[in-house]
Structure 1
Amino acid sequence: MTYSIVAACPATGRVGIAIASRSIAVGFTQIHVVGKVGALVRLGKRDDLTTRTLFKLLEQGVPPSAAVALSGIEERAHLTRHVALIDAAARTATWEAPATSPWSGFVTGDGFIASGEGLAGEGVIKAMADAFAAGGGADFDARLLEALEAGAAAGGLAGLAERSAALVVHGTGVHSELDLRVDLHEGAIAELRAVFDFYKPYEAFYRLRSENPRQTPPQEAFMATLAATAD
């Protein structure tokens, strides 16, 4: 019982995922994001072979639809129920096993896939797709989170609370640009929003510290400079 949005922005090189689930630690168990390559949501039992194969093919320039066909996923369908895959060029592919928990499905749009399994209905992923498409002027990470919130507002899981959620974005650098996770909370999406809103003002500080640690002032001094600039 999970819903998500995977997306890519070729103009900036970003790929990312926002996801929520009844299961715990969904950001650890069900997603995979590689900068300059792509992003994957795969629901089911652990299957490292499929994940490694898919990303190896994407790294070689194979389109996602062909990568899924070549991955051997059909032969290991007992391990995988649902796949949403996008590459850094915003090409997409989806796959679903014959037996999944209702309601399940996908909405694919320009540079994204909204999808889920065990949902209140198709309206959940339609709301996610509409929210992401409508947020073109917002930051990429904010659009992903807003889409997840729209899915929750449209009914989310079928009568159950989301207990984990994650928001992960990779750009062209070695490390992720954003990796926020709520692993166990009865209001996981609201908690993820709280973490995101608290972290966002510090984003520039952590980026500078990563790129130029010797020239980065203490956190308090950096944040005071930002506050003064905002005033």
Structure 2
Amino acid sequence: MRVATFSLVAQDPKTGDLGVAVASKFLAVGAVVPFAEAGVGAIATQSYANPRYGPQGLALLRQGASPEGVLEAFRRTDPGLEKRQFGLVAATGESLTFTGAECHPWAGGVAGKGFAAQGNLLSGSEVVEAMVETFLTAQAPFPERLLLALKAGEEAGGDRRGKQSAALLVVGEGKGYGGLWDRYVDLRVDDHPEPIDELFRLLSLHRLLFERPKGRRPLTEEEVRFFQGVLGRLGLYAGEAHGVFDEATERAFLALIGMENLEERYRGGPEVDEATLSYLKGRYGWS
């Protein structure tokens, strides 16, 4: 299976978070290429991809191997190495990009402290160069920087066969759902005419539903009255729209939060963050 892609594996120097962004003219590229583990490293495996590189490489990094040590282990155990390509960033920031001699041109990569960009069957070296330049200079949160770099690669030529799928995987210790695991962004566009643009849309939606807000404020009396009316129409609340956030209102509002999958943003009581408020007001007709 030939997975012609362009990908960026990187670490956020501020937080230590690790991520992979990848795009390809290939169905569901996110199911094959990206692997990451918080505090360990991240890997993209492509070009006649060997998906075993992900778990094997992470296991080696976990045991203290360097990126070069991982490459040497693959060289000893995989007779098809020269057909393959992979990028790797360890939690130390050490990186490596490898392109086998039998990969289809254009194929190559660039690696530096905290990043590895690579691709095969590309329009040219300008694709990986654009990804690196954008990643290093963009002023945006880490997941968005990864996508901005991927978009820059696409605009520089991308996969010369066209577009089909893209994926974004980001891990950080304790940042996953409910604080119970490390994978906090895992988004895939499996088949779409503009997969990277669609991935931006999904990331925006992901932030609305799952990002933990930094600040909340109490609902005003007018806002409480509005939501009591909404909750009544939905059959969640049987009281009057009197503007007091009482126990019955809180139970009903919590049910609404669950219906909208916003439970990661709400902590109970009358205090709600502005992004949640804006979404709910738009959804239910605030004017």
Q: Structure 1 length normalisation: TM-score?
A: 0.85
1:102 CA drift (Å):
1.1
More strand by share: 1
1:201 CA drift (Å):
2.4
Aligned: 1:83 with 2:90: no
1:80 CA drift (Å):
4.9
**What is the alpha-carbon root mean square deviation over aligned residues?**
2.8
After TM superposition, the structure 1 = structure 2 runs for residues 71-110 of structure 1, keeping only pairs within 5 Å, are 71-72=74-75, 75-77=78-80, 80-110=83-113
What amino acid is aligned across from residue 188 of structure 2 in structure 1? R
Partner residue, 1:226: 273
Partner residue, 2:58: 55
CA contact (8 A) 1:46 1:79 kept: no
**Deviation per CA, 1:121-180, whole angstroms, max 9, x where unpaired?**
111111111000002x4211010010001111111121x322110011000122301111
Aligned: 1:34 with 2:81: no
Partner residue, 2:146: 144
Partner residue, 1:211: none
Quick check: 139-148 or 27-36, which moved more? 27-36
**Deviation per CA, 1:88-137, whole angstroms, max 9, x where unpaired?**
111111222211111111111331111111111111111111000002x4
1:190 CA drift (Å):
1.3
| Secondary structure at 1:71 match in 2 | helix
The 2-side partners of 1:58 and 1:75 are apart by 18
Partner residue, 2:188: 181
Partner residue, 2:168: 167
1:45 CA drift (Å):
4.2
| Secondary structure at 2:147 match in 1 | helix
For residues 102 and 129 of structure 1, do their structure 2 counterparts lie closer, same or farther at Cα, with a shift above 3 Å needed?
same
The 1-side partners of 2:81 and 2:129 are apart by 28
For residues 58 and 228 of structure 1, do their structure 2 counterparts lie closer, same or farther at Cα, with a shift above 3 Å needed?
closer
The 2-side partners of 1:51 and 1:229 are apart by 36
What is the percent sequence identity of the aligned residues? 33
For residues 73 and 167 of structure 1, do their structure 2 counterparts lie closer, same or farther at Cα, with a shift above 3 Å needed?
farther
| Secondary structure at 2:26 match in 1 | coil
The 2-side partners of 1:48 and 1:164 are apart by 17
The 1-side partners of 2:83 and 2:53 are apart by 9
What amino acid is aligned across from residue 107 of structure 2 in structure 1? S
The 2-side partners of 1:62 and 1:84 are apart by 15
Q: How many residues align?
A: 221
The 2-side partners of 1:228 and 1:165 are apart by 27
CA contact (8 A) 1:170 1:177 kept: yes
After TM superposition, the structure 1 = structure 2 runs for residues 65-76 of structure 1, keeping only pairs within 5 Å, are 65-72=68-75, 75-76=78-79
For residues 204 and 121 of structure 1, do their structure 2 counterparts lie closer, same or farther at Cα, with a shift above 3 Å needed?
same
The 2-side partners of 1:201 and 1:157 are apart by 31
The 1-side partners of 2:61 and 2:124 are apart by 31
Work out which of the residue numbers 203, 206, 216 in structure 2 matches 1:199: 206
Q: Structure 2 length normalisation: TM-score?
A: 0.69
Structure number, greater radius of gyration: 2
- Unaligned runs of at least 5 residues, structure 1: 207-216
**Deviation per CA, 1:26-53, whole angstroms, max 9, x where unpaired?**
1111221112111111114464544333
